Amino acid sequence: MHRYFVTGTDTDVGKTRVAAALALALRRAGRPPTIVKVVQTGATADAKGDAARAGALAGVPYAELARFAKPADPWSAALAQGATLRARELVRRIDALEGPLVVEGSGGMIVPLGEREHLGDVARLAKLDVVLVVGLRLGCMNHALLTLEFCRAAGIPVAGTILVERWGPTHRSYHEDVTRALQGKSPLLGILPFAPEEADSVAAGANDLLPFINGSR
């Protein structure tokens, strides 16, 4: 079953584009998924969230489990509205969804949901395979390696990493440097090229991801 948790080396590194590209690749392979945003922050009730944006780009259904107006981590955003987030309740709602899933987190793997829980608990309890989005900028190797080490220690399976040219084109030699640092730690699933238009980046990423989707079960 294709059920993935899309996380990043940081915030704003291209997770939503990757979620859309992964979902589009699954759809093209005849396995259309539901895109799920675990916690949407920084959005009013009538604003378009990440899941809706990714769903539109991929042409698949989407769901949002929680939404808060404060532009902050899920714990802080929930507290601002007097709400409480529980990993097991979020997992229960994820488990109720049938078929392939592309679940998008917020920021990185251990962004807090509360005093003792974080998004990694959702990935672990829901038995989702991690797809790590590596935004290509200074510091990304360290952040990627720390995330992969956390997943290994927590027993969370990693499907692979995707490099993202989030802020502009990067040189091929830099791709090679990052890939070398991750070698033996995680398979490289593809590279999302920089494009001013999200749809162009998503379409290129989906093409890159099709071999991975078709080779997985």
Name the catalytic one among 37, 48, 70, 127.
37
Helix (H) or strand (E) holding 134: strand 129-135
Are 158 and 186 contacting, i.e. CB atoms less than 8 angstroms apart? yes
Helix (H) or strand (E) holding 52: helix 50-58
Measured N-to-C along each axis, helices 50-58 and 198-215 cross at an angle, to the nearest 10 degrees, of 70
What number of helices (H) and strands (E) belong to the chain?
8, 7
Residue 127: active-site member? no
What span, in angstroms and rounded, lies between the C-alpha atoms of 58 and 200? Answer: 11
Query: Would you name the residues annotated as active-site residues?
Result: 37
